[in-house]
């Protein structure tokens, strides 16, 4: 996998993660917990109960300033692990996609950027391939992220928080369920990612071509629009299986238990109706446009800059 793809994927993924993680936390909780009335209720309760509040004491002992300095700690739960692993994740996604596309078209990334466009069937196939590789690498990381995002108890409360950190979470899962436990929900993750990464790169390439004059490089506007549209399209298709995946990953942690993907689908449908599979769709769509627009712009800019630097 090219070193350039690794660096570009790492940085662009980290930027996108920082922008989208708070909304991702709210989305995961809405999908896996029935205690929230809606998006606003989830945001307010997370802010009230899990923000790290610090009080400033005035010159008179025992008197606190009513204005507290609040931090949004609850919205960034589970982010530390993905930040460090995003280098691997995004390099796998973009690197495997780029290499698969090169193999299918027998050309290089720079040739695609200079006007020798790959056929759309190759773009779709390479995207699906990158989704499959991504599942193999990132399934345990996604499991840890979801577990930490759903942990609402504070570590300061005795017996409150089950997981102290991402590594502790992984150790606990391994101790309880061995290596198999780290891949809980992996089949649902594969059903989500393999087709949806195909539907991630396909609209990106198509939109870029529509907004770019023949023979020229895509402009910043074209990349931003194409990235945002790609994010919305892929998440619109991914949300139903994303709900199933998140529920399977939380199965056996004290709430509803599912024996497998099919059981989760049928049980959720029977208990909550068809609407359950679209929980988090609005948040996914709102989050998808800016996150993926910035991710693709960062990636394309870095690839062009590092390629030019390497050629000089």
Cα-based distances in Å from 146 to 99, 182, 242, 245: 30, 12, 11, 10
pLDDT at 25 over 60: yes
Query: Band of the pLDDT at 174, cuts 50, 70, 90?
Result: very high
SS3 71: strand
DSSP type of residue 218: P
Mean pLDDT of 280-309: 84
| Cα distance between residue 36 and residue 55, in whole Å | 28
Q: Is the pLDDT assigned to residue 266 strictly greater than 60?
A: yes
At 297 the pLDDT is 92
- Asked if residues 89 and 3 have their Cβ atoms less than 8 Å apart, the reply is no
pLDDT at 32 over 50: yes
Lookup result for tokens 């993907």: 261
Going by C-beta distance under 8 Å and a sequence separation of 6 or more, which residues neighbour residue 126? 96, 97, 98, 100, 101, 104, 118, 201
Using CA atoms, how far residue 27 sits from 9, 20, 30, in Å, is: 24, 11, 5
For 241, counting Cβ atoms within 10 Å of its Cβ (0-12 exposed, 13-18 middle, 19+ buried), the class is buried
Q: How far apart are CA 70 and CA 75, in angstroms?
A: 12
- Contact partners, residue 157, CB within 8 Å, separation at least 6: none
What is the Cα 4 distance to its own chain's centre?
Answer: 22
The model's pTM: 0.76
Asked if pLDDT for residue 268 goes beyond 80, the answer is: yes
């Amino acid at each position: 996998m090219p070193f350039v793809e690794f660096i570009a994927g790492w940085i662009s993924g980290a930027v996108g993660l920082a922008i989208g993680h708070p909304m991702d936390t709210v989305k995961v909780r809405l999908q896996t917990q029935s205690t929230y009335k809606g998006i606003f209720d989830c945001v307010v309760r997370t802010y009230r109960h899990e923000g790290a509040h610090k009080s400033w004491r005035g010159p008179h002992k025992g008197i606190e300033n009513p204005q507290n300095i609040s931090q949004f700690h609850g919205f960034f739960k589970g982010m530390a692990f993905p930040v460090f692993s995003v280098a691997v994740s995004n390099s796998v996604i973009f690197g495997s996609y780029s290499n698969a596309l090169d193999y299918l078209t027998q050309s290089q990334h720079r040739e695609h950027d200079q006007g020798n466009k790959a056929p759309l069937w190759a773009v779709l196939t390479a995207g699906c391939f990158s989704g499959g590789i991504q599942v193999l690498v990132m399934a345990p990381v996604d499991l840890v992220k979801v577990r930490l995002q759903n942990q609402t108890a504070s570590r300061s409360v005795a017996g409150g928080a089950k997981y102290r950190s991402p590594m502790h979470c992984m150790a606990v899962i391994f101790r309880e369920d061995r290596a198999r436990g780290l891949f809980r929900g992996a089949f649902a993750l594969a059903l989500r990612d393999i087709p949806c990464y195909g539907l991630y790169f396909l609209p990106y390439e198509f939109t870029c071509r529509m907004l770019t004059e023949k023979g020229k490089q895509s402009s910043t506007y074209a990349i931003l629009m194409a990235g945002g549209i790609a994010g919305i399209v892929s998440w619109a298709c991914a949300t139903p299986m994303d709900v199933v995946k998140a529920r399977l990953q939380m199965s056996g942690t004290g709430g509803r238990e599912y024996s497998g993907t099919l059981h989760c689908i049928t049980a959720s449908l029977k208990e909550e109706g068809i609407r359950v599979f679209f929980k988090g769709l609005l948040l996914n769509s709102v989050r998808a446009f800016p996150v993926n627009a910035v991710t693709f712009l960062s990636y394309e800019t870095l690839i062009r800059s590092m390629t030019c630097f390497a050629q000089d």
